[in-house]
Structure 1
Amino acid sequence: MMAKTHAPLSASIGGAFAFAYMQWETMSEAWSSSVGSFVNRASETMSAATSAMTWSQIAVSFIVVMSLGGYALAPDFDEPGATIVKKTGPVGALLSPVVRALAGGHRKGTHSVFAVLGLGVLGWYGAQNIVAWVLLAAFGCYLSVALVTGAKRWAVHVVAVVLVAIVACLAFSSVTPVLGAAIVGGGALLHDVEDMIAGRVKFLWPIPVSVGLNWITTDGPVENMVVRPVANVAVVAVLLGTVIVPTLFRAF
């Protein structure tokens, strides 16, 4: 899949998973106590979970949605023309050919389980230091926002990154290493799974076995007219349901 599909799709999945994980107990209780049709029970469950979000949980949800999509671009660092390489400027241009050579080509080493684990470890240790954590969250946000808004809208990039950095700093007391690993490694894992749907990758590299379904064509009509629009709507819905609405509940 293309970068403009990977980022929103991964961010929406990650944000929804984080919300469900944090509010699982509340959702279970609300579902058990609700009555009526499935739609009514689902509505009451989501309402209860949304209204029960704490400031800390809202902050975590915001960081996950804004940053995880950026790290979903990381596996494509083995491709010199990839979005993540372009968004990292001269550093990306210099390092990408080296990474590609070490990884054995495109969709091999950087798309492997070892790359996912390595990035997960990076996120794990990054979340244990406030400076590293803020940089980790801000960089992921930068990649996401720069992809969506384009390279020239630096004012938008700066505002988004500063906002995420402030939230990450304020939320650090409730951050765990697992969260850091989930944002960085989880973004890479979702990228791999999405590429497996669209094609085949060497997920077990260096074992020369390709894994994938080939259900859709990368940059084809299904991705462009179905998957990407759904992903864009989904990430807005997740941001609305896990950040904006809970913030209004807490504030008023």
Structure 2
Amino acid sequence: MMGHSHAVSGALLFAGTAPYLPPVLLHTHLQPQEILMGTVLCAGAALLPDLDHHDGTIANFLGPVSRLLCRFVAWISGGHRHATHSLLFVALMAVGTWAGIAHVGRPFTLGMCFFLLTMAVRALNLCPPGHGFHAWGTIVAMAALGTAAIAKFIPAAPGWLPYVVGLGCLAHLLGDSITKQGAPWLWPLKRRYEVVLIKSSGNKLETEMLTPLMGAGTIALLWLTVLAPHPLR
């Protein structure tokens, strides 16, 4: 799946589960502004497993810094679609986010929001095309503005942020599992799991049907949960 599709799938999964799973898992009901923030941040989190792709679109979301980061992650994880495409990685990202919030506090929270926003801006094509400064400089500026806006509403220790990160990573695994390359959910076991619906990334089924449908679904769900007079709660 393309990065754009992964981001939209993360947004859809969060928007669809926000009224239901957080009350069960976190014993809290998310406020409308938290659902909106979570939807955007989950779009970014859905790109986290592809930090092992040193030559992909996401490798350039922070210019030379992200290229070095992705090369390092690819090296320690065994290459693309290995360790970072597993349930172990999902758990590590969620628990790591919880630990950062618990032990570092607001600086970690805002830093994570900025990091997720940079990936969301890149994947959702909200910046100029290309890999030069005009692209990643715009990404940094937009993510900084978004983080400043989020800082006005987000608490120092948002219990829902680890959920956002874990759910985004899970959305990525689900997306890759409908391609013929599959995903090694149970890594370090090598078996890959797939139900092939997309035979090649970026084909018409993905870009002209699946991704637009997921985008429309996300907007519809946000309307029902956040904007409608009688939200689903």
**TM-score scaled to structure 1, two decimals?**
0.75
Corresponding residue number in structure 1 for 2:185: 203
Rounded Cα–Cα distance in structure 1 between residues aligned with 2:61 and 2:142: 17
What stretches of structure 2 of length at least 5 have no aligned partner? Answer: 129-133
The code of the aligned residue for 2:5 comes to T
Rounded Cα–Cα distance in structure 2 between residues aligned with 1:233 and 1:88: 28
What stretches of structure 1 of length at least 5 have no aligned partner? Answer: 25-53
Structure 1 residues 137, 15: closer, same or farther in 2, change over 3 A? farther
Equivalent residue pairs, number? 216
Rounded Cα–Cα distance in structure 2 between residues aligned with 1:224 and 1:169: 35
Q: Does the 8 Å contact 1:134/1:169 carry over to 2?
A: no
Corresponding residue number in structure 2 for 1:84: 58
Structure (1 or 2) with the larger CA radius of gyration: 1
Task: Specify which of 65, 79, 82 is matched with residue 105 of structure 1.
Answer: 79
Post-superposition shift, 1:110?
A: 1.0
Post-superposition shift, 1:146?
A: 2.9
1:107 aligned counterpart, secondary structure: coil
Corresponding residue number in structure 2 for 1:5: 5
Post-superposition shift, 1:156?
A: 8.0
Corresponding residue number in structure 2 for 1:114: 88
Alignment of structure 1 residues 172-183 onto 2, 5 Å: 172=155, 175-176=158-159, 179-183=160-164
Rounded Cα–Cα distance in structure 2 between residues aligned with 1:194 and 1:66: 18
Corresponding residue number in structure 2 for 1:123: 97
Any idea what the Cα deviations from partners look like across 1:104-161, whole Å, max 9, x if unmatched?
2211111012211111112212333122112222321232123321244766864564
Alignment of structure 1 residues 44-83 onto 2, 5 Å: 57-83=31-57
1:127 aligned counterpart, secondary structure: helix
CA RMSD of aligned residues (A): 2.7
Q: Does the 8 Å contact 2:62/2:140 carry over to 1?
A: no
Q: Does the 8 Å contact 2:48/2:169 carry over to 1?
A: yes
Corresponding residue number in structure 2 for 1:213: 195
Corresponding residue number in structure 2 for 1:150: 127
Residue identity over aligned pairs, in percent, reads 25
The structure that is helix-richer by fraction is 1
Q: Does the 8 Å contact 2:61/2:139 carry over to 1?
A: no
Structure 1 residues 240, 135: closer, same or farther in 2, change over 3 A? farther
**Structure 2 residue 115 is the aligned partner of structure 1 residue 139:** yes
Post-superposition shift, 1:83?
A: 2.5
1:175 aligned counterpart, secondary structure: coil
- Once superposed, which parts of structure 1, at least 4 consecutive aligned residues long, lie more than 6 Å away? none
Post-superposition shift, 1:171?
A: 2.9
2:177 aligned counterpart, secondary structure: helix
Structure 1 residues 240, 139: closer, same or farther in 2, change over 3 A? farther
Q: Does the 8 Å contact 2:45/2:168 carry over to 1?
A: yes
Any idea what the Cα deviations from partners look like across 1:58-89, whole Å, max 9, x if unmatched?
12101111111101011111111223211022
Rounded Cα–Cα distance in structure 1 between residues aligned with 2:15 and 2:207: 22
Q: Does the 8 Å contact 1:10/1:187 carry over to 2?
A: yes
**TM-score scaled to structure 2, two decimals?**
0.80
